[in-house]
Structure formats: C-alpha cells, structure tokens
Structure 1
Amino acid sequence: MVTFNTIVFDEGKVVQLNPTEMPADATVIDGNNKVLLPGLIDAHGHLLGLGGNLMEVDLRESSSMQQAAQWVADYAMMHADQEWIKGRGWNQELWSDRSFPTAAVLDAKLKNKPVWLTRVDGHAAWVNSKALQMAGINDSTPDPAGGQILRDADGKATGVLIDHAMDLVSAIMPKDSASLYAAQLNAAGEHLHSVGITAMHDAGIGHHVYDFYLARAAQGELPVRVYAMLSATDPLLPEMLDVGIIRSQDDFLHVRSVKAYGDGALGSRGAALIKPYSDAPHQHGLLLTQPEDFPKVVQQVLGAGFQLNFHAIGDKANQLVLDEFERTFELLGGQALRNRIEHAQIIAVEDLPRFAELKVLPSMQPTHATSDMNMAEDRLGKARMEGAYAWKTLLNSGIPMPLGSDFPVELANPFYGLHAAVTRQDRNNQPVAGWYPEQAMSIQQAWRLLYVNNFQCIGCTHFFHFITVS
C-alpha cells in the first residue's frame, strides 16, 4: 500500500506523490487532517436511467402491491401534466405474499392514464389495463421470443411483462427527447457527485444517447467521466462501430465497448438456467439473444476491435457466452480486448475456472448478492449455490473482477457495495455471520476492485477528482 503526505495533481490526473519541491505555480490546499479519497469509479451503471429514476415515482421501499399502487396514484395526482405515469423499483420478493402484482390493483387507483412501472432489476414491467389496451395486448397475444406475458390460471394477461414482452408496451410510449436526457443527466450527475462517484461505465446506450453524449462531450458538459457501452440491440450498431473508437479531448467520454444481452434476471425468473428453477420446475428462464445469433454478435463486435460486455446471470447464459468467446478467440482473436460478462451471478462449478483461462472478466455487483439472498436459494436450490455470487473463487482463480452497483437497480452509494463485498451482509448487517461468507472479499481486495482500480476499460488513463471526508 502506498502512503503519502503530499499529492500533486493537474486537471484530475495524479502527477506526483511526496514531491521534494512543489511546482512554482501550484495552488496549495491544506487538507486539515481530513480523509482524502479519490473520485470513485462504478464499473456498471445506467447514467440516464438513474436520472430518470430520480425524476419518477420510486417504489423501492414499497411493502405491498397495494402500497405501491397508492404511491403511483399520489404521484399521478401531483404530476397531472404527465402523459404516462412511470416509475421503478418494485420487488415482489420483498412483499409479504411475494406475488407478482396485477393490472387490476393499478386500475383501482388509476385507470384512465397509462402506467409503466419497471421492476427493480429492469427486467419486468407492471402496467395497468390502459397501457395493455394501448399496446394491443390481450389474452391471446403470443409471448415474443425472449419474453413472457404473465397470465393467470384462466389465461388472462395479469399486467406483468417479462424481458422482451416489455417491448410491446415500450414501443408505443413517447420517445425520449434531448431535453429529457439533459434533465436526467443533470439529476444523475448531481446524485453521483453527492456519493463520491466521478466516473462510471454506462452499460448499454442506443444511438440517440450516443449522439447526445457526443454533443455534451464536445461542449465539455458531461458531469462525470463516462465509459459507454453501445447497445448490441440498437439497429444503428453497425454505423456506430464504423465510426470507430471515440475518446473525447478532455477524456470525459470514451466509447470502445458494446453491451450484449444474454438472459433476464433471477428475481423475475428470466435468468437462463441449465436445469429448471427449483421453485418453478416448468421454467428455465429466457434467452434474450438466441443461441444461433451469438456468433454474429460476438464476431461483429470483436471484429471491429471493440470490447464486448455480455449480460449473463444464469448458468446457461454464462456457459453459452463463455463457449462463444472461446470459439471466436480461436477464429478471430480478440482476447486482448478484456471482454467481460456482466453480472456473472450463477455459474456452473465447472465453468468457474474458464473466466481466468479465457481472460474474460466477471463484472459483478456486490449488493446484488445481498439483495437476492432472500430468494436466490429458493430459485436455485442448495447445490447450485456453490457457483453463485462466487467472488472469492473467481478472484482466487487469478481473474480481475471489475465491480459496480448497477444503479438504479441498486443504490449508487459505493460504500454499500464495499460493505456487501467484505461482509456479505445487507445494510442492516444481516445475516450476522454473512451470507455464504466463504465468498467474501478482504477489504483490500474490495477497495482495489470496487471503484478505485476499475482497470478493465481498454487503454483507460486513470483520473481522479478528490473528495474530502470530515
């Protein structure tokens, strides 16, 4: 560990530690014995998604679907000018009955204006009957590939849409504007600064946000440094790849990676599993990219010289992605691009060593484990937990592990992640002994990996904004 009494930095870049003499034109700041922390880096978040979440109804703390519906109604009353009522954060696993919500409960509170509420993980939406009607969804609407319309025992659509089924409604919602992006960016930037984050990896942006970021970077108006991942599902991905790698003059914007989508999330049973869910034996989860499309995605991105960061939560999705990386490396190369699997939550035990063998980085979020611990073993059964949230096993295999929060899925405060990584406990220090504590990191490992040394972006120079803590 390096210690120092004096640090010299210029335009956010560390120049020297403990200099023998100060530069003649230096401005000297007396830290008054306060703690000095570098600006922190989140390796996986959603910048405008965070801003949007801060501007919509927040359902994260709701204790029942009825309470959530009442909060939506209260919000709608205070925002009568909004064409759609939008929100995020519901999690049926935290409600007493642990049941998925229904359109009927929303209809009782708000039936004449469409409602769109995404689950905390972003992989499911709860809508009212007005939204279903506007999207043309009825009881006979087929499930799209990679998606599911939840239905009751009589086959009626309940109002919950999983993964690609969400697209049926999102396609008819008003499109986001540059002015909305600006408001979201400002809200997110202010919040991230308040918790000490000055740089982040934006996990999946489409061409509209790409253009918006380019304009803001050219004007020097990005509030945090952004390492952006292009969305593999964007129809203009080939054109964006043809533009090539982008690095703004002030280093606030860096575009040289792509985010692809393997499966859904565990909480909504969208994570793709090799064997059925233990608590739903007829379900295996959902693949958002079909196996026959994997080669095209991987070869297109690596062939363009871009890093590929593939979302995979379930053991089947992780295995398929590792298999495709292995095949493509043999065919085209690209291993040196420091490719990643985003989340890497549930991995078949035999696949754990393959990350180090293939030099594919598991990009993980510590608070996901402590948020999922109330349902993960129900979903997976005891045996599969050996390869779930297996941080220590992966680190011991010798592979670097970039860590982040996945905000706004989880709260952006980096110290929540640090605490979860070291203790395997939630913010209430539960369970007392930690959840599968043998997979905990040391505080030195967590501090290096969580925000400070997120070195997995290719060619990144490290920058620091400094934060004093009283």
Structure 2
Amino acid sequence: MRHLSTYFAVVALAPAALEAQGSADLVLTNGTIYTVDNARPHASALAVRGGRVLFVGSDAEARVLAGPSTLVIDLHGATVVPGIVDAHAHLLSLGNMLQRVNVAGSTSYAEVIDRVKAWAKNVRPGAWIQGRGWDQNLWPTREFPTHEELSRAFPDNPVVLTRIDGHALLANAKAMELAHVTAATVDPSGGRIVRLASGAPSGVFVDNANGLIDRAIPAATRADTRRAILAAIAEANRLGLTGIHDAGEDAETIGIFEELAKAGNYNLRNYVMLSDPGEPGSAASLGNPYIQHGPQSALYDGHLWIRAIKLYADGALGSRGAALLAPYSDEPSNSGLLLSRPEHIEAWAETALRSGFQVNVHAIGDRGNRIVLDAFDSALKKVPKADHRFRIEHAQILSPEDIPRFARLGVIPSMQATHQTSDMRWAETRVGPQRIRGAYAWRSLLNTGVVIPNGTDFPVEEVNPLLTFHAAVTRQDPSNLPAGGWYPEQKMTREEALQSMTIWPAYAGFQESVLGSLTPGKYADFVILDRDIMHVPDTEILGTRVISTWIGGKRVYGAK
C-alpha cells in the first residue's frame, strides 16, 4: 500500500498538442515544484485549465500554453507542493474555538481563569461562557482542576471549558446546577465524573460524562454555525490547507456544509466522516439522511466527500481515558475507558463492507487499538473485501504484536505527528518505559508497508501543517528539542512526510485519482511556500511562510 505517488497518473500530452486544445487559465514558471508523482517528481513550471492540472514540466514548455487571457506568475524560485491535506481534523470545533474563549497554552489554572475573565468582560449575567484548550499537563501540579476557583470567579454565569483534546471538560457550579448534576449523579457508561473526597462532582467530566453537561448548553443557531465554519475555513486556507478529513460531524452540520458549497462559499475539500449514527438499523441510523443515501464522492466539484463513518473505541491519553491492556503507570487503579462496545464497532464494520462506507475508529490506547483490529478482522472474515481502507484514527499506543496487523488486514493508521511532540513531556510517565516503545511508532508501521496519512486533530493541536512536517522529520518540538529528537528511530524522511500530507491522505480517502499529487488531470490544488522545505535545515522549516493557497486553480489565500 506504500508507494502511491504514481497511481492513476494521466499520460501528459506534449505542449504542442495541449496548445491546440486551447490556452491555459494559469501558468506558474521559475519555481521549485515537488509534484509527489514518481513519473515526474520535480518541475519548474505548472499549467492549469478548468481547475485541473494541464501540464507539469519546464518553463519553456509551459509558456507555449499561455494565451492572451492566461494568468502567468513568475515564482522567482518559490517552492510549490501539492495541496496539503490534514487527514484528521474537526472543522466546526476549530470554528467554535476561534469564536469562544481560547485557553490553549495556559501554564496554570490561574491563567485559564484570567483569560476567561478578559474574554467575558461584556457578557451579561446568566449567559453561558464556553471555551477550550486547557491542559493540566502544562501546569505545575499536572493535576485536574476543581471547579471552586472558577465558580468563585463566575457565580452567575455557567462556564464550560473543554480540555484541549475534547475528551474532558471543566464546568463551574452554575453549569452543573443547570445540568442537574449532583453527588447522586451516576457515571455513564464510557464516562467518568471526577469527584471530590466528599463524593461531590469536582467539575471535571471525562469522555461520555461530558454529555451530562453538554445537554444543558443552548444549541448554536445555524447562523452561528455558518460563521464558525467560514472562520475555520479561512484559517485553514491561511495556513496552507486545501483539504481536510473531518473526523466526525452530525447530519445538521453536514447540511450546512452543503449549503455553503452550493453557494460557492466552501473553499476547502472536505472528506467528511459521519459521527457515530447509533446501532446499524436503529431508528437513529435509519433517520440519518446520509446513511440512507449511501456513500457520496466529489460533490460540488470535489468539495465534499461523504462516505465514512467515525466511531470511538476509547478516550484520550492526556485525560487517562485511553483504554490500556494494563493500568496506567501513574494511576494504577485506572486502565482507561471504552466508549463503545466492541460489538458495535464490528457491527458497523460489517455493515459498511456491504454498503460501501469506510469505517474510521478513534483508538489511542493499546487495548483500544487491539479491540478495533479484532473487530475489523472479524468483520472481514464474514464479508471479505480487499479494498476497504478501514482506518484507525490516532493508533497512538500499540502493542508490538499488533503493529504488523495493520498491513496484514489492510488497515490504515491515521496519525498526528504533533501529538507526539505535545505528549512527549509526559507520555512515558503515563505508560512506562516498555509501552512507550510502541507509541507514536511511525517508522515501525511504515516498515510493514502501510501508509500513514498525517493530521493535527485540530483544534487539539495547532492547525499549521508546517508544524506537522517539522515534527514528522525531527520528532522535536518547535524549539527543536530534544536534541536529536524523541525516540528518533521513528522519524519519517522528508519525502515520506510530504507524502503523508498529500498523496497518503488522498489514498486514505479514496481520492488518489483526483488529489494528492500535481499530475495532469487531477485537481489543481497546490501551495506556494517561500522556502524549500525539502532541503532547508531542520531549524529553518518552521520559518517557512505560506505565500498563497490554491484550490482548483483558484487562489483562496494570498496576495493578488
């Protein structure tokens, strides 16, 4: 499954033959172009017509294709790469975060509260205050907060602050009061209410327990949701993204995506995963219009794909909800949480094999990953299918014996390089020196022959794909630490890192015939950078600036 850069390449016609068919809409010359196509990996010029790549080659050949109305851009040596795709992201969550309190990077609980106070100066009493981004692992104590300080600061406003990973939240007393959560409230299946010594809720809710608070929060209006989506798309374009794999959205949100795409206001290619629709054949799944319609590809000139289902096996490592085969090294009474029954995952895998959907399951802990691999294995024995491209999202902590199973079963590990650089400060404390050897194990997986589509899980990590590229090739944080990289034997090469952000996500989304490389006939999605990220020193990668972002030959970000 590994070498995927030349599949479905369209044989390029000679420039003279192309000229006879009409001039190009756009010609780029004098650049350093990385095509991610083994048939012609490097070029200096690119021509586009009708939103598709027309020609890749030399400046002289490309200039033949320029007519009176062609936009010709001299790149002056700038670098061009195929459109960058984030293979695991949360678009609406990013948009919401951009319009709510952002407490990411706070180095203490006090700083979190100060940021909320600054943001909420003009909020009326009684109004809900929502935010995201706290991470107790960045604080001196590294312990979960309790609600008292937040409740004292906001006695009259319900406040809900989601943890950076989205797998836990902190609610103040007013929010818990409105949600009718008390000491008598029982932990839901797959969730945990963190409690004080008295048994009263501490204010922290983990995984499925989040719903106890979420149900009390007033629903966003469609106008609010549209604003959030457009804000997120603009941010993605600014940072060089032309596409994402959206890791779980409900039918209402996808409907708004469609409205925006129909109106031509959706400057992103989105491979959307449907949030867990409930049991196959249940009223919930039967009532989901996208499940009933069946898989849909390349809608609205390739701006929407709706052909995957997103499930959850377990929680997250940072909030100790990832399901482990043995207890947490730093909390021996806890082995994590299972958010879905194994039978539920297997049932959807079997249903999807019959209906043509892809199944993508969040699994972080070694137990969570094994459960998903077992479920896929069982379903494939019942409904054999060679090209299912089932995925495990994150595949973060793996037992050594499970690493070869991905290739054997044809399962794609969809991973996030910056999770490693964010988690490396405390991950070994969580799982110990033995299990950490199977954590963020990119090279071990690549050596078995799989591909690894790379993402950020934004807004869990920063959107910037250059952070992903840097982390993948260095296993260092943005300060270039630790020296030599963290478990450096697991690094990707630069070629692999670029593939993991272009052609490998395309393959993971059944899009490799139209996306992922600058090949004639494919969509003309590309990014122009001011540095050659394939050759600059490691320490200069993050100094790279996005000059412009293009989707279908249309500039969606950058100077005119």
Supply the AA of the counterpart residue of 1:9.
Answer: V
TM-score relative to the length of structure 2: 0.81
Look up the match of 1:137: 181
Q: Which residue of 2 aligns with 1:206?
A: 250
Of 1, 4, 10, 2:49 maps to 10
Deviation at 1:91, TM superposition (A): 0.3
Q: State the partner residue of 1:77.
A: 121
SS at match of 2:120: helix
Indicate conservation of the 8 Å contact 1:43/1:451, yes or no: no
Distance in 1, matches of 2:128 and 2:277, equals: 25
1:351 and 2:394 correspond: no
Tell me whether 324-333 or 348-357 shows the greater mean CA deviation. Answer: 324-333
Q: Trace 1:348-387 onto structure 2 (pairs within 5 A).
A: 348-387=399-438
Offset at 1:56?
1.0
2:417 counterpart of 1:332? no
Q: CA deviation at 1:155?
A: 1.7
The worse-fitting range, judged by mean Cα deviation, of 453-462 and 151-160 is 453-462
C-alpha separation in 2, matches of 1:299 and 1:97: 45
Task: Mark the CA change 1:252 to 1:82 in structure 2 (over 3 Å): closer, same or farther.
Answer: farther
When Rg is computed on C-alpha atoms for both structures, the one with the higher figure is: 2
When the two chains are superposed, the root-mean-square deviation of aligned CA atoms in Å is 1.7
Q: Deviations over 1:228-285 (max 9, x none)?
A: 0001146744432221222313111111111111100000000000111111111010
How far apart in 2 are the matches of 1:442 and 1:362? Answer: 17
Over 3 Å counting, the alpha-carbon distance change for 1:464 and 1:97 in structure 2 is farther
Question: Is 1:245 matched with 2:289?
Answer: no
Whether 1:185 aligns to 2:229 is: yes
1:425, distance to aligned residue in structure 2 (A)? 0.7
Q: CA deviation at 1:152?
A: 1.8
Distance in 2 between the 1:285 and 1:464 partners? 44
Q: Does the CA contact (< 8 Å) of 2:315 and 2:337 recur in 1?
A: yes
1:49 and 2:54 correspond: no
Classify the secondary structure of the residue corresponding to 1:454.
Answer: helix
Partner of 1:87: 131
Report the count of equivalent residues.
470
Corresponding residue number in structure 2 for 1:425: 476
CA distance in 2 between partners of 1:38 and 1:12 (Å) = 14
C-alpha spacing 1:451/1:104, structure 2 compared with 1 (3 Å):
farther
Instruction: Give per-residue Cα distances to partners, 1:67-97, cap 9 Å, x unaligned.
Output: 1012112211134388210111100000001
Give the equivalent residue in structure 2 for 1:111. Answer: 155
Shift of 1:13: 2.3
Which residue identity does 2:529 align to in structure 1?
A: V
Q: Does residue 308 of structure 1 match 2:359?
A: yes
Corresponding letter in the other structure for 1:36: V
Residue 66 of structure 1 deviates from its aligned partner by: 1.6
Task: Pick which of 3-12 and 418-427 moved more.
Answer: 3-12
1:229-308 to 2 correspondences below 5 Å: 229-233=273-277, 236-238=284-286, 239=288, 240-246=290-296, 247-308=298-359
Paired residue secondary structure (1:352)? helix
Q: Is the 8 A contact 1:271 1:286 kept in 2?
A: yes
Amino acid at match of 1:311: H
Aligned counterpart, 2:446: 395
Cα 1:453–1:13 change in 2 (3 A) is farther
**What CA distance in whole angstroms lies between the structure 2 residues aligned with 1:308 and 1:85?**
35
What corresponds to 2:510 in structure 1? Answer: 458
2:240 match:
196
1:391 maps to amino acid: W
Measured at CA, do residues 452 and 299 of structure 1 come closer, stay the same or move farther in structure 2, by a change above 3 Å?
A: closer
Shift in Å, 1:301 = 2.7
Give 1:468's match in structure 2, choosing from 482, 507, 528.
Answer: 528
Residue 23 of structure 1 and its aligned partner are, at CA, apart by 5.7
Q: Secondary structure at the match of 1:88?
A: strand
How far off its partner does 1:333 sit?
2.5
Secondary structure, counterpart of 1:15 in structure 2: strand
Deviation at 1:335, TM superposition (A): 4.2
**Inter-partner Cα distance in structure 2 for 1:138 and 1:451:** 48
1:355-388 deviation digits (Å, cap 9, x = unpaired)? 0000100000000011111111111011111211
Structure 1 CA distance, aligned partners of 2:220 and 2:428? 38
* Maintained 8 Å contact 1:303/1:334: no
- What does the per-residue CA deviation read over 1:292-320, in whole Å, with 9 as the maximum and x for residues that have no partner? 32322222333221011110000001001
Q: Which runs of 5+ in 2 are unaligned?
A: 1-37, 516-522, 531-560
Could you list the per-position Cα deviations for residues 40-64 of structure 1 after superposition, in whole angstroms to 9, with x for gaps in the alignment?
Answer: 1110101111111111111112111
Structure 1 42/327 Cα, relative in aligned 2: closer, same or farther at 3 Å?
Answer: same
Query: 1:218 Cα deviation (Å)?
Result: 2.1
Q: What letter is aligned with 1:37?
A: V
Letter in 2 for 1:192: A
- Higher mean displacement: 240-249 or 256-265: 240-249
> Which 5+ residue runs of structure 1 have no aligned equivalent?
none
